[in-house]
Amino acid sequence: MSSTTKIEPLGAVRERVLATLRQEIIAGRLRPGDRLVERELADRFGVSRVPVREAIRALVAEGFVHFETPRRTVVRRLTPNDVRELFELREALEVYAAGLAASKATPADLAEVEELLERAAVATEAGDAEVITDVNSRLHDRIVAMAGNSLLIAALEPVAGRLRWMTRRNEEWPQLLVEHRELYEAIASGDPERARAHALTHVRTNYRSTVRQLFEDAE
């Protein structure tokens, strides 16, 4: 009796490799300056070099890695200007999103955010950096979704991964939890102005913490 082996489509292989490498960069398992070698990655994933090459090109486009030379690809070292530009964009879009969310949030929306806050509290107590990063990113994604503006979501999508990568460096987790709870309460109040004010304070505080973790503490 013959059997057939299911062949994974090339696009699916590329996405699997891309998602894994992206998460390893965000989580810090691949660090700035680390080299990505096609042959080694192809052997590791058990795939040809074609999907690996395509995944690396996607990471370049997303701003996670860059070509030091035509033959040498490494994880990017973030600069103060990189952080400043991304947080300026985040401030403009997320503050706006918070105001819209306050005027549009449903009880179901708010319940989802409450659940995320509970998960964040458990992870913060445990000091689980990866879960904290994931849950906090989901919380911000949920607030943007609550704004109900598809163009706003589309504008943030290309930089969402890089923002997550940067904010992962901010390890002032108890303070983040306090700020997220305050932001939730402002949105739940239904007052757009209050929600925007809390979102602005949160983004700017997070910016200062991220800069401190990335640059000042490394000196």
Give per-residue pLDDT as tens, 67-108: 999 889 999 998 999 999 999 999 999 999 999 999 999 999
51 within domain boundaries: yes
Tell me which residue range forms the domain holding 18.
10-75
Domain boundary among 75, 98, 120: 75
139 within domain boundaries: yes
Kind and range of the H or E run holding 99: helix 80-104
Domain count, the chain: 2
How far apart CA 171 and CA 86 sit, in angstroms, is 19
SS3 assignment, position 6: coil
Mean pLDDT of the chain: 92
180 with 132: CB under 8 angstroms? no
CA torsion angle 201 204 207 211 (round to 10): -120
Amino acid, single-letter form, for residue 41: L
Residue 60's CATH number: 1.10.10.10
30 within domain boundaries: yes
Verdict on whether the full-model pTM lies above 0.75: yes
Domain boundary among 51, 75, 99: 75
Report pLDDT for 204: 95
Residues 125 and 98 in one domain: yes
Residue 141's CATH number: 1.20.120.530
Kind and range of the H or E run holding 68: strand 65-69
Structure tokens at 205: 């505080």
